[in-house]
């Protein structure tokens, strides 16, 4: 590992990209400590302590704790992520967008990216308006208003600040992607989640020191975290390789030899998206019902507690549904089979066309089933381990998948960059 880091640091281009990424992270963390004007931060802190298990707590994790502190980056890049997911779904449903994505090449990708930016502004506007209006009607458990001077001025200031900050973070993410290391948006979410790990670790160590946490539970939690990371690495890197054969072809007077390759499909094609969708849908009813002061509402609110069997049963059902749904959005067996047929390629022992399509549909459905089981286990097991060991388990399934997935993706891109540099150096020596 040390030798690998030395090889990376020896590359001048990597050093520049690495320092640029650190600079962007520093700007992101700086904005994470600038609160929105007009908010009583002490009352806000007391208020958010009672919101664990709601959609605000989930959103706060992805925003790196910015929502709980109501900083400039309170919305984070989640409006962009939401807009990107919506555009992916619209691209499948709207023929014009589908044509742009498939037939227009770079121009089509540019236009879809532009539409995603416009949609991000709209999503950020709606969310910031909702946050500003909601905050003005809230008080802390001690009776202090979160916004002492509410009104139109606070609403306009908050909306402008949050929308502008969100689009600034989108720009920062683009700059990291272009001039830094890895995917900028993913790295910003990664940085926000990892930034909360030290505080969570300190809380656990204080519990161990005060006797609130037994040494057995502490060691068990560490072993479980390692096991989760190993399992996620294995599943994220595993893929189903479908053999593909290319026949000999005659191009003009030249005969091109055929060859064999493979079509790789991830064991978990949907990634972490099904868990995010499922959590959002389940936590929204709990959050809305929590504002209603009625005995029936309290019973429903308790039923949607993340520790109940009812909640976890619905959680697993939604994860399975969204895994199949999102896998179908990402992988279209009809298009893959047609592209293979147009390129003259075929799967050995399978006829091109409909037979290849049926084979791909069977494989994709099986992989979606395996992926849904994996995601369900990763999402559910941390909850029960936390209850069993009585540990405040911050490193849950969603955060683990995001952190490990982004880290693996970044490492793969760094390795590809190293291979490219070595190959370029080898070619220069051969030319000489």
* Averaged pLDDT for residues 321-341: 85
What is the average pLDDT across 391-403? Answer: 67
pLDDT reported for residue 290: 60
pLDDT for 164: 93
Note the pLDDT tens digit of each residue in 284-316. 666 666 666 677 777 776 777 666 778 788 888
* Domains and their CATH numbers in the chain: 20-195 (1.10.3370.10), 212-432 (1.10.3370.10)
pLDDT of residue 387: 67
pLDDT of residue 121: 92
Q: Residue range 76-80: average pLDDT?
A: 83
Question: Is the per-residue pLDDT at 128 higher than 60?
Answer: yes
Q: 3-state SS of the chain? A: CHHHHHHHHCCHHHHHHHHHHHHHHHHHHHHCCCECCCCCHHHHHHHHHHHCCCHHHHHHHHCCCHHHHCECCCCCCHHHHHHHHHHHHHHHHCHHHHHHHHHCHHHHHHHHHHHHHHHHHHHHHHHHHHHHHHHCCCECCCCCECCCCCCHHHHHHHHHHHHHHHHHHHHHHHHHHHHCCCCHHHHHHHHHHHHCHHHHHHHHHHHHHHCCCCHHHHHHHHHHHHHHHHHHHHHHHCEEEEEEEECCEEECCEEECCEEEEEEEECCCCCCHHHHHHHHHHHHHHHHHCCCCCHHHHHHHHHCCCCCHHHHHHHHHHHHHHHHHHHHHHCCHHHHHHHHHHCCCECCCCCCCHHHHHHHHHHHHHHHHHHHHHHHHHHHHHHHHHHHHCCCCCCCHHHHHHHHHHHHHHHHHHHHHHHHHHHHHHHHHHHC
pLDDT bucket at 163, cuts 50 / 70 / 90: very high
Higher pLDDT, 230 or 168: 168
Residue 140 has pLDDT above 70, yes or no: yes
Q: Determine the pLDDT at residue 60.
A: 67
Residue 339: predicted pLDDT: 83
pLDDT of 226 > 60? The answer is: yes
- When pLDDT is averaged across residues 83-108 and rounded to a whole number, the result is 78
The chain-wide mean pLDDT, for the chain, equals 78
Tens of pLDDT along 180-218? 887 888 888 888 778 777 777 777 788 778 877 778 777
């Amino acid at each position: 590992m040390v030798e690998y880091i030395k090889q990376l640091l020896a590359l001048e281009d990597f050093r520049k990209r690495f320092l640029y990424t650190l600079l962007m992270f520093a700007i992101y963390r700086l904005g994470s400590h600038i609160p929105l004007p007009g908010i009583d931060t002490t009352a806000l802190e007391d208020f958010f302590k009672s919101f664990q298990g709601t959609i605000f707590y989930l959103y706060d994790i992805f925003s790196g704790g910015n929502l709980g502190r109501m900083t400039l980056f309170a919305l984070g890049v989640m409006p962009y992520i939401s807009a990107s997911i919506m555009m992916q779904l619209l691209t499948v449903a709207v023929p014009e967008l589908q044509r742009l994505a498939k037939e227009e090449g770079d121009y089509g990708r540019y236009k879809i990216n532009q539409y995603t930016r416009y949609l991000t502004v709209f999503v950020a506007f709606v969310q910031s308006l909702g946050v500003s209006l909601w905050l003005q009607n809230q008080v802390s458990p001690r009776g202090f208003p979160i916004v002492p001077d509410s009104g139109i001025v606070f609403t306009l200031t908050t909306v402008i600040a949050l929308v502008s900050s969100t689009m600034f973070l989108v720009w920062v993410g683009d700059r990291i992607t272009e001039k830094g290391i890895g995917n900028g948006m993913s790295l910003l979410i990664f940085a926000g989640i990892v930034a909360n790990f030290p505080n969570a670790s300190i809380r656990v160590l204080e519990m161990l020191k005060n006797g609130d946490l037994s040494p057995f539970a502490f060691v068990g939690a560490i072993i479980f975290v390692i096991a989760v990371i190993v399992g996620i690495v294995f599943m994220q890197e595993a893929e189903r390789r479908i053999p593909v054969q290319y026949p000999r072809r005659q191009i003009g007077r030249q005969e091109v030899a055929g060859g064999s390759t493979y079509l790789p499909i991830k064991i978990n094609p949907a990634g972490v998206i099904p868990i995010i969708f499922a959590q959002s849908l389940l936590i929204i009813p709990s959050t809305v019902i929590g504002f209603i002061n009625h005995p029936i509402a309290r019973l429903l609110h308790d039923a949607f507690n993340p520790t109940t069997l009812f909640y976890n049963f619905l959680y697993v059902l939604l994860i399975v549904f969204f895994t199949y749904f999102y896998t179908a959005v990402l992988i279209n067996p009809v298009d893959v089979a047609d592209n293979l047929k147009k390129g003259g390629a075929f799967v050995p022992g399978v006829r091109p066309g409909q037979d290849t399509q049926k084979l791909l549909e069977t494989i994709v459905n099986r992989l979606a089933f395996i992926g849904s089981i994996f995601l369900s286990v990763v999402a559910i097991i941390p909850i029960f381990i936390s209850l069993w060991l009585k540990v405040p388990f911050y490193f849950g399934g969603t955060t683990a998948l995001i952190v490990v997935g982004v880290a693996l993706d970044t490492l793969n891109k760094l390795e590809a960059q190293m291979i490219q540099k070595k190959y370029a150096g080898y070619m220069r020596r051969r030319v000489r």
